[in-house]
């Protein structure tokens, strides 16, 4: 497809502003850790399970350390030193703390404790690296990647075993990616539920056992049909780093992992989110997981035409946060959506302009394109047409991850037959228009090109303004999604802890070896 005439110097200015914005936040936040980062560290080191009251053991141990003023030094060396002192494993230590039989304290030999923590961290990094290598080998053995746009399909029954049945059926019908929607409200839980779950509202709880069960089922159906089926879950909310850790260990392939979604849409404290997103993205980057960002959600609360520049600005900021955490462009599933009001004249042209603009600004990114939802009315026939137009834009602009639109959007959680029709719609459009992008061109100076240029100019101006005020102030103004949040507001601020001068965590040095040690810690 011919390219839109966009000012590359303008794109470069916008990207430089976004980089400075992201680094301003990182420089302010890297001096802190969170209870969630420390729980994720212990999970990666091998701690799991729950106590007699079903409280996760990582929560019990970090609460114990927090009460004793030890979290500021980092949980890893305290736990590793205690294990060495008492000659016990990490699970035995956790249970003893939960039972009140063991009190944790600073190790007498800090150097030895750090070395032991490093060895434990190295072991899990090797395990995660093997999972990544297995994924890559399986894709090669299956004949390579499926052609894009990948068909991304949601299951959300609340019961992991029913989810598995629906996910396998969807894979056999042609889905490339299965996303297991989390139970409503899980992002606000400051703990991760344990074990296989069969009850959830609007989705299924994200647990390590649920990850393991779905991964095994998709591997089995993938072998049957000769394709690798990717698995997605939601790495956001108050337990963002822990879910990233579990997903890395269980070989998830994608994670919803946005730098601002929890702040804006779940009222999670800004500081907590910025700290947690760095650690979680670092884990995802190391594991070869593709992150999905949440800019599509902005267009459910703000107008898709008027707020288009805020989507692009957020994508550029998300890109820079991702770079800081070690993610590569092909792991950046930057999000956008087909959400312009269908009653707007030339709405299809504006959708095409926005999608092509994003494609050209992020030529190497693994873009995630979301279907119409805000203006779906329950008229299934019109909805099916809206989804078909969305499919056309996706294939024309060569998107990567294509979340299937459902004609029953706004009516109910999709049935298997709804998903089947959505897959058939997309596969028909993708096949019949596969090479159309190479056969048509944009009119120079035409409406599509002028619209893209306008959005780019507004984006560059907005980012320059945010660079001057700072991202927290921009969020407080309601710049994104017309929702305002403050630096000290929201849930989870009590879990933000200033690092001591001798704070230690073994994972940044292992997962981001090129980063300056002081900044990585």
Domain ranges of the chain: 1-30+293-413+425-484
| Position 520 pLDDT exceeds 60 | no
pLDDT digit string (tens) for 239-259? 999 999 999 999 999 999 999
Q: Is 380 exposed, middle or buried (0-12, 13-18, 19+ CB in 10 A)?
A: middle
User: What is the average pLDDT across 47-56?
Assistant: 96
| C-alpha–C-alpha distance, residues 487 and 476, integer Å | 8
Q: Is 305 exposed, middle or buried (0-12, 13-18, 19+ CB in 10 A)?
A: middle
Structure tokens at 171: 């894979």
End-to-end CA distance of the chain: 45
Phi-psi label, residue 478: left if phi above 0, alpha if psi -120 to 50, beta otherwise: left
In the set 228, 261, 286, 369, the catalytic residue is 261
Residue 418 is a catalytic residue: no
| Pure H helices in 142-239 | 160-173, 208-225
**C-alpha dihedral sign at 309, 234, 515, 26:** positive
> Which DSSP symbol is given to 343?
T
| C-alpha–C-alpha distance, residues 335 and 318, integer Å | 10
Residue 296 is a catalytic residue: yes
Q: Which fold has domain 1-30+293-413+425-484?
A: TIM Barrel (3.20.20)
Backbone angles phi, psi at 11, to 5 degrees: -60, -45
| Position 283 pLDDT exceeds 60 | yes
Assign 513 a pLDDT band (cuts: 50, 70, 90). confident
Length of the chain: 521
> Which DSSP symbol is given to 305?
T
Q: Are 162 and 180 in contact (CB under 8 A)?
A: no
Q: Are 150 and 230 in contact (CB under 8 A)?
A: yes
Angle formed at CA 504 by CA 502 and CA 507, multiple of 5 degrees: 160
pLDDT at position 521:
37
Q: Are 353 and 320 in contact (CB under 8 A)?
A: no
| Position 218 pLDDT exceeds 90 | yes
Phi-psi label, residue 12: left if phi above 0, alpha if psi -120 to 50, beta otherwise: alpha
pLDDT digit string (tens) for 144-190? 999 999 999 999 999 999 999 999 999 999 999 999 999 999 999 99
| Percent of residues, the chain, with pLDDT higher than 90 | 96
Say if residue 48 is preceded by a cis peptide, omega within 30 of 0: no
pLDDT digit string (tens) for 225-239? 999 999 999 999 999
| Pure H helices in 398-443 | 416-432
| C-alpha–C-alpha distance, residues 356 and 365, integer Å | 13
3-state class (DSSP) for residue 444: coil
pLDDT at position 519:
43
Q: Are 18 and 319 in contact (CB under 8 A)?
A: yes
Q: How far is CA 229 from CA 217, 244, 365, in A?
A: 10, 19, 20
Owner of token pair 């072991």:
123
Assign 2 a pLDDT band (cuts: 50, 70, 90). confident
Assign 515 a pLDDT band (cuts: 50, 70, 90). low
| C-alpha–C-alpha distance, residues 23 and 29, integer Å | 10
Owner of token pair 């879910």:
243
User: What is the average pLDDT across 308-330?
Assistant: 98
In the set 163, 368, 369, 418, the catalytic residue is 368
In the set 296, 298, 323, 418, the catalytic residue is 296
Computed over every residue of the chain, the mean pLDDT equals 96
Inter-residue long-range contacts of 469-473, CB under 8 Å, 24+ positions, other chains counted: 470/21, 470/24, 470/25, 471/21, 471/22, 471/24, 471/25, 471/317, 472/25, 472/270
User: What is the average pLDDT across 333-337?
Assistant: 97
Residue 261 is a catalytic residue: yes
Strands 150-155 and 177-180: parallel
């Amino acid at each position: 497809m011919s390219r839109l005439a966009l000012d590359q110097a303008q794109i470069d200015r916008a990207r430089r502003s976004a980089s400075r914005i992201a680094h301003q936040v990182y420089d302010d936040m890297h001096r802190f850790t969170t209870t969630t980062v420390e729980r994720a560290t212990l999970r990666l080191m091998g701690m799991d399970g729950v106590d007699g009251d079903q409280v996760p053991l990582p929560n019990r141990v970090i609460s114990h350390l927090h009460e004793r003023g030890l979290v500021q030094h980092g949980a890893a060396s305290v736990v590793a030193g205690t294990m060495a002192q008492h000659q016990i494993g990490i699970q035995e230590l956790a249970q003893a703390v939960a039972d009140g039989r063991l009190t944790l304290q600073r190790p007498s030999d800090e150097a030895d404790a750090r070395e032991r923590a490093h060895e434990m961290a190295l072991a899990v990094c090797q395990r995660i690296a093997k999972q990544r290598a297995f994924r890559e080998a399986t894709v090669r053995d299956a004949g390579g990647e499926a052609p894009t746009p990948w068909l991304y399909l949601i299951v959300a029954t609340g019961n992991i075993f029913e989810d598995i049945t629906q996910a396998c059926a969807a894979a056999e019908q042609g889905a490339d990616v299965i996303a297991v929607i989390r139970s409503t409200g899980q992002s606000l839980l400051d703990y991760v539920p344990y074990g296989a779950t069969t009850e959830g509202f609007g989705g299924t709880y994200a647990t390590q056992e649920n990850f393991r069960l779905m991964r095994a089922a998709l591997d089995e159906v993938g072998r049957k049909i000769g394709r690798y089926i990717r698995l997605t879950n939601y790495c956001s909310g108050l337990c963002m780093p822990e879910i990233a850790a579990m997903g890395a260990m269980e070989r998830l392939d994608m994670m919803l992992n946005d730098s601002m979604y929890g702040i804006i849409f779940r009222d999670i404290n800004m500081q907590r989110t910025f700290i947690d997103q760095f650690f979680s993205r670092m884990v995802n980057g190391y594991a070869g997981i593709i992150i999905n960002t949440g800019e599509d959600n902005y267009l459910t609360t703000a107008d898709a035409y008027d707020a288009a520049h805020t989507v692009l600005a957020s994508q550029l900021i998300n890109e820079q946060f991702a770079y800081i955490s070690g993610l590569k462009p092909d792991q950046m599933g930057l999000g956008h959506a087909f959400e312009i009001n269908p009653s707007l004249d030339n709405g299809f042209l504006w959708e095409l302009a926005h999608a092509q603009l994003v494609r050209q600004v992020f030529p190497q990114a693994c873009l995630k394109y979301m279907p119409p939802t805000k203006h779906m009315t329950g008229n299934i026939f019109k909805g099916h047409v809206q989804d078909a137009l969305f499919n056309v834009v996706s294939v024309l602009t060569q998107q990567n991850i294509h979340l299937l639109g459902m004609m029953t959007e706004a009516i109910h959680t999709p049935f298997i037959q709804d998903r089947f029709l959505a897959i058939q719609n997309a596969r028909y459009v993708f096949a019949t228009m596969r090479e159309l992008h190479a056969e048509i061109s944009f009119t120079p100076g035409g409406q599509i090109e002028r619209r893209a240029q306008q959005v780019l100019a507004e984006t560059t101006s907005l980012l320059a303004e945010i660079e001057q005020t700072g991202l927290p102030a921009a969020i407080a103004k309601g710049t994104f999604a017309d929702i305002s949040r403050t630096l000290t507001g929201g849930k989870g601020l009590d879990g933000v802890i200033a690092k001591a001068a001798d704070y230690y965590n073994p994972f940044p040095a292992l997962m981001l070896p090129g980063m300056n040690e002081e900044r990585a810690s």
